Structure 1
Amino acid sequence: MIPRHAVMTALALALGACDQSREGTLEIAVMGNSSALKESGQRLSPAAQLLRSATHEGLVSFDERGRVVPALADRWIVTDNGQSYIFRLRDGTWPDGKRITADAAAAALRKTIAGLKGRALGLDLAAIDEVRVMADRVIEIDLSAPVPELLILLAQPEMALLWQGKGTGPMAKGQDGEGASIFTLIPPEQRGLPKQPDFARRARKLALTFASPDKAVALFNDGYADVLLGGRIDTLPLAGSIGLTRGNVQLDPVIGLFGLMIDSTQGFLGASANREALAMAIDREAVIGRFNIGGWQGTTRVVSPDVEDDLGTIGERWQGMSVEQRQNQAAGRVAAWKGAGKAIPTLNIAMPAGPGSGRVFDQLQSDFARIGLSIRRVGERDRADLRLVDIAARYGRATWFLNQLSCTVQKAVCSPVGDERVAEARKSIDPAARAALLAEAEAEITAANGFIPIARPLRWSMVRSGTSGFAANPWGWHPLPPMAWLPR
């Protein structure tokens, strides 16, 4: 085995050479595989989403704070009833130099929406009735009912519009002599936009290094990266308890789904009451306690109480029961199953690699053992009975959560009745009626016990003091273009 100090010395020498050739470049370490550079289509890894949003634009995009900003559309208006969005396209060009027109942009948008059919994001956009061309540079999106989060949805990386398979920027991807991925802002005049006198002075290159989580953290800690992106719960222990208080580690205030998805309905897991037994057995406070993160809270709800359209009529489950009482009741269901002569084999739980996943597994193993179940950890791509999911919400409404758990997306366990209520809510133009229908849907989907919530997700990054273009935000999303601009 090669000594660690020898590896780090070689790494330092290699990166030192890169630093000499990339003076003034912002060095970014990304947790992920360099294969993200070759991903295409609309099923993208988090690293590929980051790259897509840098080199491909939709009608709108995000700034560093997660706010919607102009992209291909330089302005827009929303009608009083919220069922029509009118976008005026910028006076620019496609990658081949042809002028951007509403006809081409609308066709690209229709194709993008069609490609999302069968996915949760496609359900989020299901209220779009028509994409119409109103004038040479004006597009109108007509909705069957108001979609307050439409601009946020249109800013997603998957909503980028392609022209002959290419994106419009705002960045171009290349490589330097050392093989690093270099992202550079495209001069405005090359995109058919007015020239900016201070462009050369303000624009800086970004050098992205894709690495395993431990190597990415080492790059930051050893001074070879100014920004580290891609942190999740599975890698959180790599940040270190000192880093969390030192100021370099940034936690995003995200909401979303973090828990166990039922992937098999064979045997014991075929009954909703038995799946509920697993949910009752988990000591959520103990799971959180293994990470020592202040303000992180467990939950038994499939929808975050922080969403705008939560009526507050559905609370946490099993209120008034202690963990011990819940586990005793769950143990009774397991004992009854076994008492009927039915075996329960060891359950496989698919999890991503990483020390954080290990901490979660250890607590689950302890909790499930208390009710008479044994579990085994397998790889996140392996076939399993249960799967640990960790997804940050794309927008802050109940529909995001319920669409993630719909029968369209989750094949093993779902609630057709819950989906019907969501579909009814999607058509409702009365906010109160819509919220009531979504509450009914949550109740139905919760009762199916196809997803076992544990807590809200965590997203973390490491950022060197004084780095511009980065900010914690509610989506856990850190686009590259803002980091490529130096302050005025």
Structure 2
Amino acid sequence: MISISRIDKALRSRGKPMMLALAAFSLLATAGCSQKVSRPACPAGKICLQVGNGSEPASLDPHKSTGTWEDRIISDLIVGLTTSDIDGKSIPGMAERWTSSPDGKTWTFYLRDAVWSDGAPVTADDFVFSLRRILDPKTAAEYASLIYFIKNAQPVNEGKLPGAELGARAISPKVLEITLEHPAPYITEVAKHQTMLPVPKHVVEKWGDAWSQPGHYVSNGPYMLKSWTLGDHVGVVKNPRFYDAANVCIDQINYYPTNDAIGAERRVLRGELDMNADIQSNRIAFLRERMPEYVHTNTYLGVAYLAFNASVPAFKDKRVRLALDMAIDREFITGKLLRGGQTPAYTFVPPGVANYTPAAPPVWSTWSLEKRQAEARRLLAEAGYGPKNPLKIEIKHRNSPDPMLFMPAVQADWKAVGVDTALMQNETQIAYAAYRSRDFQVADAAWIADYNDAMSFLYLQQSSTGSQNYGDYKNPVFDALLAKADNEPDVNLRAGYLAQAEQIMLDDATVAPVFFYVNKNLVSPKITGWKDNLVDHHRSRWLCMPRTTG
């Protein structure tokens, strides 16, 4: 176990309040109260996998899901035009091959012979139907803006054009043509994302939104949905009609919500779970000593950040946003609290993104904490806040492991510059629902790249993005630079426009980046086929375990 006295000593050495140590102690203490769930029986001769999946899925409909915890299940059920290989790289999925026009605006996908789990053929019309469905305003898909690069996607999503005007058509049952607004060489990356996954037209037309419930769910991937018990688990079984079923090893999978990461690690040790899709960061070093063969960490394209709600009067003043941004002690959070390999974030786009050099970090990022705090107090005073009129705000945050650790640190940092900060923790799903409805003042959020490109991060702050632009940031110059980048075929010029856009966003302090992620998994050494990768995709079709003998 981690020594509480060592945590307290480290915290005190940096002048952080004792409440951070108490928060750490609380996390450790509550872990001992985790509900014990025994491993379910696996039929003789079968291979069964028990997965700790982080959070409870809100939906298994790809057009109504947004979380990585949902993606892990859905991508085992449904395969898009492309899919992820063992390294997380895009490979052919439903499309065996594809071509693009010289101007990069017309893509033609040639589908393989494949069927849905009920035996109906997978056709180009399923993809056309699905793209129109996610963009239909009635679907209210918060991820719809991700595919605005498809011709007429935005006006269709805004109800200004009918779905028939979307740039997607079935040339034949096995040939799909997608026309774009501008070149988007990353389309093969987005094609494996839930926004472009197909849904079975014949089933959705019969059952409506209820199609994604057990008993109605029809899939084209390696697994079929068998059961879903809310708060307990989602169960899937091998799909014998999957085009590569002969090479799928695991027969059954149960995915469990595991918000209590310490409880989950104990269940992995006991053999109740075979893996868990998270590790509490400050326990990585301890676990590497106790169970080194289980611990997997890797560079990840993700950022944790705080979003400022533009409708809050105080946040209309850039000086306030900037003061809060510069007052955060990111080095303490990553080096003394999390200790999992995360790095301080002073830009929004993580290092390592393909074909991109991030914008320069702000000048103040090189200052000492004391100098930053003094400047933050000065900015707040200029904006009218001080001892006689303290700024009072609330941070709404997720109850997942890392936010539970570093939110009290942010609270302490802001208290040090005279800001009275309350913390309101929510279950992850509920927190993000609040962010989307703008029911927050400051939102603790995180973003993992949907595809390996800077646009996957920067588009979040685009005024047209909608619900996922949590703070409702609007800057026409920023928008114009993103549009210019969209229409620039030269990779280097495009990267320059994106970097200019990121610089404007950082100067506006519309969000406060906190740290860049690493992906963290506990994986039983019994599992074979696991490969750490940049996007943290570990599709179950590539995994295997020893077969049950009893």
TM-score w.r.t. length of structure 1: 0.84
1:335 counterpart (372, 378, 381): 381
Is 1:263 paired with 2:309?
Answer: yes
Tell me if the contact between 2:250 and 2:544 (Cα under 8 Å) persists in the aligned partners.
yes
2:236 counterpart (171, 175, 183): 183
Instruction: Go from structure 1 to structure 2 and tell me whether the alpha carbon gap of 1:26 and 1:136 turns closer, same or farther (over 3 Å shift).
Output: closer
Instruction: Go from structure 1 to structure 2 and tell me whether the alpha carbon gap of 1:395 and 1:369 turns closer, same or farther (over 3 Å shift).
Output: same
Q: Which amino acid aligns with 1:299?
A: A
Tell me if the contact between 1:278 and 1:368 (Cα under 8 Å) persists in the aligned partners.
yes
Partner of 1:162: 199
Structure 1 gaps of 5+ residues are none
Residues 50-79 of structure 1 show CA distances to partners (whole Å, capped at 9, x for unaligned) of 222121222121123211122221222344
Partner of 1:404: 460
Partner of 1:144: 181
1:397 deviation in Å?
1.8
Instruction: Go from structure 1 to structure 2 and tell me whether the alpha carbon gap of 1:424 and 1:457 turns closer, same or farther (over 3 Å shift).
Output: same
1:208 counterpart (255, 271, 280): 255
Q: Which amino acid aligns with 1:241?
A: A
Tell me if the contact between 1:469 and 1:485 (Cα under 8 Å) persists in the aligned partners.
no
1:236 counterpart (281, 296, 299): 281
Q: Which amino acid aligns with 2:89?
A: R
Tell me if the contact between 1:272 and 1:447 (Cα under 8 Å) persists in the aligned partners.
no
Instruction: Go from structure 1 to structure 2 and tell me whether the alpha carbon gap of 1:22 and 1:336 turns closer, same or farther (over 3 Å shift).
Output: farther
Q: Which amino acid aligns with 1:445?
A: M
Partner of 1:173: 225
Is 1:250 paired with 2:296?
Answer: yes
Is 1:109 paired with 2:122?
Answer: no
In 1: Cα distance, 2:386 partner to 2:447 partner = 38
In 1: Cα distance, 2:234 partner to 2:257 partner = 9
In 2: Cα distance, 1:271 partner to 1:419 partner = 21
1:221 counterpart (252, 269, 272): 269
Is 1:418 paired with 2:478?
Answer: yes
In 1: Cα distance, 2:521 partner to 2:267 partner = 13
Tell me if the contact between 2:386 and 2:418 (Cα under 8 Å) persists in the aligned partners.
no
Instruction: Go from structure 1 to structure 2 and tell me whether the alpha carbon gap of 1:302 and 1:40 turns closer, same or farther (over 3 Å shift).
Output: closer
Residues 416-450 of structure 1 show CA distances to partners (whole Å, capped at 9, x for unaligned) of 32112212221222333322322221122222211
Q: Which amino acid aligns with 1:441?
A: A
Instruction: Go from structure 1 to structure 2 and tell me whether the alpha carbon gap of 1:365 and 1:445 turns closer, same or farther (over 3 Å shift).
Output: same
2:346 counterpart (300, 303, 307): 300
Is 1:448 paired with 2:508?
Answer: yes
In 2: Cα distance, 1:47 partner to 1:321 partner = 38
Instruction: Go from structure 1 to structure 2 and tell me whether the alpha carbon gap of 1:467 and 1:316 turns closer, same or farther (over 3 Å shift).
Output: farther
1:38 deviation in Å?
5.9
Between stretches 90-99 and 62-71, larger displacement belongs to 90-99
1:160 deviation in Å?
1.5
In 2: Cα distance, 1:320 partner to 1:474 partner = 28
Instruction: Go from structure 1 to structure 2 and tell me whether the alpha carbon gap of 1:318 and 1:345 turns closer, same or farther (over 3 Å shift).
Output: closer
Q: Which amino acid aligns with 1:404?
A: L
Tell me if the contact between 1:290 and 1:359 (Cα under 8 Å) persists in the aligned partners.
no
Which runs of structure 2 are paired with 1:276-291 in the superposition (5 Å)?
276-291=322-337
Which runs of structure 2 are paired with 1:82-121 in the superposition (5 Å)?
82-114=104-136, 121=143
Tell me if the contact between 1:116 and 1:122 (Cα under 8 Å) persists in the aligned partners.
no
1:18 counterpart (41, 45, 49): 41
In 1: Cα distance, 2:456 partner to 2:135 partner = 17
Which runs of structure 2 are paired with 1:345-356 in the superposition (5 Å)?
345-356=391-402
Partner of 2:98: 76
Structure 2 gaps of 5+ residues are 1-28, 152-166, 205-217
Is 1:471 paired with 2:531?
Answer: yes
1:161 deviation in Å?
0.6
Instruction: Go from structure 1 to structure 2 and tell me whether the alpha carbon gap of 1:32 and 1:223 turns closer, same or farther (over 3 Å shift).
Output: same
1:362 deviation in Å?
2.5
1:311 deviation in Å?
4.3
In 1: Cα distance, 2:245 partner to 2:340 partner = 47
Tell me if the contact between 1:390 and 1:457 (Cα under 8 Å) persists in the aligned partners.
no
Residues 281-322 of structure 1 show CA distances to partners (whole Å, capped at 9, x for unaligned) of 111111112335364321211222422333456344425422
Tell me if the contact between 1:42 and 1:116 (Cα under 8 Å) persists in the aligned partners.
no
Residues 348-404 of structure 1 show CA distances to partners (whole Å, capped at 9, x for unaligned) of 011112453233123212221221112111024364321111121122222111111
Instruction: Go from structure 1 to structure 2 and tell me whether the alpha carbon gap of 1:339 and 1:64 turns closer, same or farther (over 3 Å shift).
Output: closer
In 1: Cα distance, 2:444 partner to 2:30 partner = 32
In 1: Cα distance, 2:534 partner to 2:245 partner = 33
Instruction: Go from structure 1 to structure 2 and tell me whether the alpha carbon gap of 1:194 and 1:292 turns closer, same or farther (over 3 Å shift).
Output: closer
Instruction: Go from structure 1 to structure 2 and tell me whether the alpha carbon gap of 1:313 and 1:387 turns closer, same or farther (over 3 Å shift).
Output: closer
Between stretches 373-382 and 287-296, larger displacement belongs to 287-296
1:275 deviation in Å?
0.5
1:4 deviation in Å?
10
Tell me if the contact between 2:112 and 2:174 (Cα under 8 Å) persists in the aligned partners.
yes
1:120 deviation in Å?
7.5
In 2: Cα distance, 1:113 partner to 1:375 partner = 39
Tell me if the contact between 2:288 and 2:295 (Cα under 8 Å) persists in the aligned partners.
yes
1:175 deviation in Å?
4.7
1:136 deviation in Å?
3.9
Tell me the SS of whatever aligns to 1:252: strand
Instruction: Go from structure 1 to structure 2 and tell me whether the alpha carbon gap of 1:173 and 1:319 turns closer, same or farther (over 3 Å shift).
Output: closer
Partner of 1:46: 68
Q: Which amino acid aligns with 2:294?
A: N
1:377 counterpart (423, 430, 434): 423
Calculate percent identity across the aligned residue pairs.
Answer: 20
In 1: Cα distance, 2:443 partner to 2:244 partner = 50
Instruction: Go from structure 1 to structure 2 and tell me whether the alpha carbon gap of 1:224 and 1:23 turns closer, same or farther (over 3 Å shift).
Output: farther
In 2: Cα distance, 1:259 partner to 1:482 partner = 33
Tell me the SS of whatever aligns to 1:127: coil
Tell me if the contact between 2:330 and 2:515 (Cα under 8 Å) persists in the aligned partners.
yes
TM-score w.r.t. length of structure 2: 0.76
Tell me the SS of whatever aligns to 1:224: coil
In 2: Cα distance, 1:400 partner to 1:156 partner = 12
Q: Which amino acid aligns with 2:479?
A: D
Partner of 1:153: 190
